[in-house]
Structure 1
Amino acid sequence: FNIVIKENAETDEILSEGKVIIGLFGEIVPMTVLNFVTITNGVVRSDSNFTYDDVPIHRVVRDFCIQTGDFLNRDGTGSTSIYGTKFVDENFRLSHRSAGWVSMANHGKDTNGSQWFVTLVPSRWLDGHHVVFGRVLQGIDFIHEIGEIETYPGTSIPKKYVGIVHGSANEVEKRYDLTLEDLSSNEDIIVA
């Protein structure tokens, strides 16, 4: 994903930008990954454009997570999936064991849609409640930069515009297996 930080959504001036590469666990949570990949690459369904391109990161919770994925309303109130409005919690085999884990945002059991978040710290209290489907492999420092953006008082709405410019999901030529050290790392797993 190519992500920008700007003073507001209307300005062309970019304050900061970064590239985030996420590895996906398609063998462990294939349904969840298919939903994410399909929306990332863009698809038209029911006269709606399902894509994460030009979607804001609408939620920043310091020392916890950043959240995005509302391509419907762009403010955190909308969510849908390629399977319908919601889809089931596939499984909870992966843990929010460190910064950089990518997980489905939901409103309770079996309410997954298009919204997702990235952890900024170990967040194991989410295990069993949110389906983990990916891990930031590159760009974790930029994720932390986003996590430091000031929010409006009493909210998790960032005062600056943070948005995905473009995303694409590509099949890897060679499978990458995370080591035990990678699983708990708070750093980039692959280096550019």
Structure 2
Amino acid sequence: MSMIFALLICLSIQQIIVTEAYDEKYSLDDDIPEKFYVTHEAWFNISVRENKISEPIKTKQIVIGLFGEICPMTVTNFATITKGLRRGSEKYTYKGTPIHRIVRDFVIQTGDFTNGDGTGGKSIYGDKFIDENYILSHRSPGWVSMANYGKDTNGAQWFVTLVPARWLDGHHVAFGRVISGMDFVYELGEMETFRGTSIPKKYIVIDDCGLNDITKYELTYAQLGSYDDLVSSS
């Protein structure tokens, strides 16, 4: 039973209360770069269904910019699983993986490609790998970060913030940012869950995913504080 909750991000009433004070204390430091380089773009076609075998009610795409120069190890893990990897009989892919957790006004979480319920998932480096760094801050909605169950326990699960969540800084490794599809991210964050749980009532699944062929480009610190898309969807 403990594993069911192991990868859930801990959020207490006390943490909510101190959020504003935390944000004020950890405002922009002098050593934070003015520009951030997106080295990869990962896209995810996500559908909402009544149940696992029903036809999609809707399908939309989100695109995530990845900061491979800041978090090369974490981005390599994420990008490799997004593209798909086979090792013998094992297949590492986010395709077919459900969004298993929704916490309104906090996060949506996915990435458990082995069990689909938050108890599994593994990295390309082994069952788990280290917290690479905490350079990027969960300072606005749309940040993509590794789920874990303690220090240096990253696997394959990841979440997207729905609100500024800087109390996660220093505990979870942020490595990407949603650059298009934020309207759908917010919509998913409003989906109903079973009473007393964070399990969505509808079946929400990554139907397909992959990497865009891009040339590295810059995003500014100001852009990354946006609550909306950073680039127009085409």
Distance 1:182 1:176 in 2: 13
Give the aligned residue type for 1:59: R
Please state if 1:25 is matched with 2:102: no
| Structure 1 stretches of at least 4 aligned residues deviating more than 3 Å after TM superposition | none
Which residue of 2 is the match for residue 181 of structure 1?
222
| TM-superposed deviation, 1:134 | 0.3
Q: 1:93 aligns with which of 135, 140, 145?
A: 135
Q: Deviations over 1:105-139 (max 9, x none)?
A: 00000000000000000000000000001000000
Q: 1:52 aligns with which of 94, 97, 102?
A: 94
Name the TM-score, length of structure 2 as normaliser: 0.80
User: Are residues 1:78 and 2:120 paired?
Assistant: yes
Of 118, 123, 139, the match for 2:181: 139
**TM-score, structure 1 length as denominator?**
0.97
Considering only aligned residues, what root-mean-square deviation do their CA atoms show, in Å? 0.9
Larger helix proportion of the pair: 2
Q: 1:104-123 counterparts in 2 under 5 A?
A: 104-123=146-165
What do residues 14-67 of structure 1 show as CA deviations (whole Å, max 9, x unaligned)? 222211000000000000000001100111125211000011000000000000
- Tell me which of 41, 52, 68 is aligned to 1:9: 52
How far apart, CA to CA, are the structure 2 residues paired with 1:171 and 1:84? Answer: 27
d(CA) in 1 for partners of 2:66, 2:204: 23
Percent identical pairs in the alignment equals: 61
Answer with 68-77 or 39-48: which moved more.
39-48
Larger radius of gyration: 2
Secondary structure of 1:110's counterpart equals coil
State how far apart, in whole Å, the 2-side matches of 1:180 and 1:23 are: 14
Alpha-carbon offset, residue 10 of structure 1: 1.0
Matches of 1:188 and 1:39, distance apart in 2: 24
Tell me the equivalent position of 2:197. 155
CA distance in 2 between counterparts of 1:84 and 1:179 reads 34
